[in-house]
Amino acid sequence: MIFSPYADEAKRIEMIRRLRGEDYTLLRLTSTMIEKNNIDANGILRDMLFNWGIVDYEMLEHGGGNGKSYPALFIQNGKTEKVNLNFYRVNNTRGDRRFSIGCIRRRMLCHELNEGDLLYFSVFRTSEGFPQIYFVNLTHNCPSESDILEAVGIDAITNLFTQIRPTLRSIILGGWFDNSKGNGPIDPKDVGDTLEALLGINTNNRNDADYYGLIEVKSKGGGRTLDTLFTLRPRFDKTRVAAYEPIDRNRVSAFTRIYGYESDAHSGFSSLYITIGSMEAPQNNQGFYLHVDDENRTVNLIWTDPETHGREIAAFWFFDDLRTQLLQKHPSTIWVQAESRMLEGMGQFKYNEIEFSKAPQFATFLTLVKEGIITYDWRGYTTYEGRYRGKNHGNAWRIKPYAKERLFGQIETLNF
């Protein structure tokens, strides 16, 4: 059976996602699932249930009687009912992960659930703080937007974005704005700082999203340059860098010292200004590329020795660290394109286009790394020996602009 949505089902997913940004999983019903009420709990569903603290399949004993029952909301056209879901492991050697839907055969007779229907499962947190599962039939008896709103409401991100839309509209229609720092030449960060000032955001280096921890603001001065996702230093345990430099906080500088080159821009220093992509598209001449190691759940930064052609792990990131940073920094994002000019010593910016995205998918992040679409920029220089002197410009994970829609599932372009 096809789990991917057809065009009409995809439109209903988009409608739900406009209101609720939490992770979700899809399931297309087969006749066997309905007849036996024995439904495969796929990895995405299990991860979602575990992350919300609802059920850990690995802690369940084998056998249906040892499962865990949990109430869910079944949202339909014009009505919502509570339905018990039972999560369990089959009593066999593998302990296959399964779940069942309460009274599924009766619902088939009433045509609420049918063979071939695509179901959407997700979880939100109630006002009392409890995780609530809900599911929707995307093929038949589909709820309207008002049905969804009445049953589960809108998430905090959607609510906040609705509140700031008028301010965004005034910025787009407001023409040229003076640089928030005052007179003087324009620095690359000024376009973002000025936008944040217009939105009432204090310029910060916080770890989570800029606006109340819910909305990240990203702006750039036009062109098709890569969009920055987040900065996250790699780990260096058991690498050449760790052997050279015992103090962890110095290892980014040590990396530049070991693997860098001498450049005209920073004469007498070891410099490293490169973009690092996949093995098939490394995008640098220094022998670096990224490798996604699914088995060990790491993204490795591989270096190839130009003389011996031997390869080594020069640094790495754990999947969990990358996922945490991606979700923390981009629960939702406003992407803004701007142009700049100088007028009588004052830099000015005109904000021309705004896109809004939310709920990035980490599995897609890894896929885009494998494809060379998400890359890692190393930007810095330091001394060749002795005390580290120089500068690190904030090494960052970046994405090609056209691929943001893949990472975030959908992007809304605001039209005012």
Average pLDDT for residues 304-331, to the nearest whole number? 94
**pLDDT over 90 percentage in the chain:** 75
Integer Cα distance of 274 and 409 in angstroms: 29
Q: Return the SS3 of 365.
A: helix
pTM for this model (two decimals): 0.72
Beta strands at 396-399 and 227-231: parallel, antiparallel or unpaired: antiparallel
Q: What does the alpha-carbon distance between residue 325 and residue 365 come to, in Å, rounded to a whole number?
A: 12
Burial of 180 (C-beta count, 10 Å sphere; 0-12/13-18/19+): middle
Using one digit for the tens of pLDDT, what is the confidence trace for 318-333? 999 999 999 999 999 9
Joined together, the tokens standing for residue 322 give: 């990358």
- What is the reported pLDDT for 223? 61
The two tokens of residue 351 are 């904000």
Give the pLDDT confidence score for residue 240 in this predicted structure. Answer: 97
Give the model confidence (pLDDT) of 352-394 as tens digits.
Answer: 988 999 888 888 899 999 999 999 999 999 999 999 999 998 8
pLDDT grade, residue 32 (50/70/90)?
A: very high
User: In sequence order, what are the beta bridge partners of 315?
Assistant: 301
pLDDT tens, 88-131?
999 999 999 999 999 999 999 999 999 999 999 999 999 899 99
Separation of alpha carbons 396 and 379, rounded Å: 9
The residue whose two tokens read 């009432």 is: 200
pLDDT score of 205: 62
**Mean pLDDT score, 237-260:** 96
The sign of the dihedral angle between the CA atoms of 5, 9, 14, 19 is: negative
pLDDT score at 204: 59
Q: What is the mean pLDDT of the chain?
A: 92
As given in the structure block, the two tokens for residue 141 are 């008896």
The proportion of the chain whose per-residue pLDDT surpasses 70, expressed as a percent, equals 98
Evaluate if residue 2 carries a pLDDT over 60.
Answer: no
> What pairs with residue 392 in β-bridges?
380
Instruction: Give the pLDDT confidence of 383-399 residue by residue, as tens digits.
Output: 999 999 999 988 999 99
DSSP string, 87-144: EEE-SSSS--EEEEETTHHHHHHTTSS-TT-EEEEEEEE-TTS-EEEEEEESSSSPPP
Q: Report residue 253's pLDDT band, with 50, 70 and 90 as the boundaries.
A: very high
CB atoms within 10 A of CB 230: 15
Adjacent-strand bridge partners of 272: 380
| Residue pair 279/258 in contact by the 8 Å Cβ criterion | no
For residue 221, pLDDT over 80 is answered with no
Q: What is the mean pLDDT of residues 19-36?
A: 90
pLDDT at 188 (0 to 100): 82
Sign for the CA dihedral angle at 279, 284, 286, 288 comes to negative
Model pLDDT, residue 412:
85
Structure confidence at residue 224 (pLDDT): 66
pLDDT of residue 1: 44
Q: Where residue 282 falls among pLDDT bands split at 50, 70, 90?
A: very high
pLDDT range class, residue 173, cuts 50, 70, 90: very high
Q: pLDDT tens across 132-143, in order? A: 999 999 999 999
Q: DSSP 3-state assignment of 51?
A: helix
Spatial separation of the C-alpha atoms in residues 394 and 274, rounded to whole Å: 12
Rounded Cα gap, residues 399 and 41, in angstroms: 32
Task: Report how far residue 326's alpha carbon sits from residue 207's, in angstroms, rounded to the nearest whole number.
Answer: 10
**402 CB burial (10 A radius; 0-12, 13-18, 19+):** exposed
- pLDDT at site 222: 62
